[in-house]
């Protein structure tokens, strides 16, 4: 049995049946099973997830009873085989079919003949399967063509029009850039770039030299990382912290801090002078923040276990600046978690906006007069972003809008990310 394909299957099965996040499941599976070709495993997993609705649409043409009656085990193997046939030029069709059948004999005995028959039909005739007509139903077309829920396609068409929605969906299928935040407490961009080049990475300055865009593998295990010279962080979060503009000696409250990147970036910008209170509901995530702070040489981080949907009285009026990076639908990071394209619905977005508003209300009460509040999400959804802010400003006349920005992958070469800075008066 092919260990690479078995590892990919295990990840996809966890995502399909347990609701696992692909990045976490991938890292766990690779560490546990040690497949000989990790790059192939990652390409197959992400390829299937990025194209799942498209693959299912075509596969349905070759399953008379429809895909709903196909077991999860067999359906995952069909998707894996179909993806290899259609998209992986380095894999011969006979290998895509044959290895899928061999794997079927292990994970869904008795269905190997079914898997063989469907994939051979796909091999012969998939090219002739027509997608939904774009002019008649553009939402359905975008949903199938770019493998996202119809709710996502409809949402982005409403926000950005037909062309903008397609640009977003195209960008969502690409690989995100790898950027690192230079730890200004220990080095500068020039020195760090040279260190990374010595360790086999290419590094190009971004954001006025406070960040580097890096190419290479194993960035987290290099010596420069161990020495705390940088942190991996998307450029969008760095732009948000720049807008927050925390000063040395101030008190910053981060109400939804994990995994801690924004708290740590604020502390670096504050020259490790002042107080940063980082909150989360999970102790193990707070421990990770403390560990990272130690690696970076940051001593002003305090971690507190707290639920941001509930007001903690001791925080009222204590902070010069507050970060409310709220839980969201994640539509801005589907390049990193492609399974989100298959899960997000308008109902979920509406439910999240209520939670987000409650967190924002509580966060605002923790701010001193003349203090700055930043609200942010890693999504592209008006209901979760501008909708929450308009509602908040309408009710809270003692706040005024300073800056509002929606970053988009195909324009800003970043994650899809929204932030808004407000000042209390």
Q: Which residues are catalytic?
A: 378
Question: Which residue in the block uniquely carries the two structure tokens 């992986």?
Answer: 88
Structure tokens at 83: 């993806």
Distance of CA 66 to the CA centre of its chain: 32
Contact at 8 Å (CB) between 16 and 48?
Answer: no
Rg (CA), the chain: 23
Among 375, 334, 326, 330, which residue's Cα sits nearest to residue 354? 326
Question: Which residue in the block uniquely carries the two structure tokens 């732009």?
Answer: 239
DSSP string, 108-156: STT-HHHHHHHHHHHHHHGGGPPPPPTTT-HHHHHHHHTT--HHHHHHH
How far, in Å, CA of 301 to CA of 102, rounded? 53
Q: Which residues pair with 359 in a beta bridge?
A: none
Contact at 8 Å (CB) between 142 and 168?
Answer: no
Among 161, 11, 23, which residue's Cα sits nearest to residue 79? 11
Q: Which residues pair with 325 in a beta bridge?
A: 376
Distances (CA, A) of 29 to 11, 35, 116, 196: 7, 9, 26, 28
Contact at 8 Å (CB) between 144 and 342?
Answer: no
How far, in Å, CA of 193 to CA of 202, rounded? 8
Residues composing the chain: 425
């Amino acid at each position: 049995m092919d260990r690479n394909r078995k590892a990919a299957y295990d990840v996809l099965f966890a995502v399909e049946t347990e609701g696992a996040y692909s990045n976490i499941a991938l890292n766990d599976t690779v560490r546990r099973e040690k497949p000989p070709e990790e790059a192939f495993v990652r390409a197959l997993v992400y390829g299937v997830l990025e194209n799942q609705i498209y693959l299912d649409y075509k596969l349905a043409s070759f399953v008379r009873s429809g895909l709903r009656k196909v077991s999860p085990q067999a359906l995952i193997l069909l998707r894996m085989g179909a993806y290899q046939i259609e998209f992986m030029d380095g894999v011969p069709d006979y290998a895509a079919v044959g290895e899928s059948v061999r794997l079927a004999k292990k994970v869904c005995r008795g269905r190997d003949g079914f898997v063989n028959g469907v994939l051979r039909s796909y091999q012969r005739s998939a090219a002739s399967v027509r997608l939904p007509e774009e002019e008649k139903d553009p939402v359905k077309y975008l949903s199938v063509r770019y493998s996202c829920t119809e709710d996502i396609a409809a949402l982005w068409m409403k926000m950005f029009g037909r062309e903008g929605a397609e640009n977003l969906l195209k960008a969502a299928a690409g690989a995100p850039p790898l950027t690192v935040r230079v730890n200004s407490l220990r080095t500068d961009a020039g020195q760090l770039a040279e260190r990374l080049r010595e360790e086999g990475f290419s590094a190009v300055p971004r954001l006025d030299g406070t960040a580097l865009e890096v190419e290479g593998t194993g960035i987290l295990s290099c010596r420069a990382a161990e020495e705390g010279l940088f942190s991996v962080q998307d450029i969008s979060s760095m732009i948000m912290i720049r807008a927050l503009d925390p000063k040395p000696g101030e008190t910053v409250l981060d109400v939804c801090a994990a995994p801690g990147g924004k708290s740590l970036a604020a502390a670096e910008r504050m020259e490790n002078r002042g107080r940063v209170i980082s909150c989360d509901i999970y102790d193990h995530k707070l421990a990770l923040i403390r560990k990272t702070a130690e690696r970076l040489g940051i001593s002003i981080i305090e971690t507190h276990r707290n639920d941001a949907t509930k007001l903690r009285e001791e925080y009222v009026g204590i902070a010069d600046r507050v970060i409310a990076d709220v839980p969201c639908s994640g539509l801005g990071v589907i390049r990193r978690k492609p399974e989100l394209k298959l899960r997000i619905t308008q109902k979920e977005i509406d439910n999240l906006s209520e939670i987000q508003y409650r967190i924002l209300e509580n966060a605002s009460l923790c701010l001193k007069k003349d203090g700055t509040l930043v609200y942010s999400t890693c999504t592209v959804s008006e209901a979760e972003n501008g909708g929450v802010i308009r509602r908040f400003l309408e009710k809270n006349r003692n706040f005024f809008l300073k800056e509002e920005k929606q970053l988009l992958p195909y324009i800003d070469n970043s994650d899809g990310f929204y932030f808004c800075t407000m000042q209390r008066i």
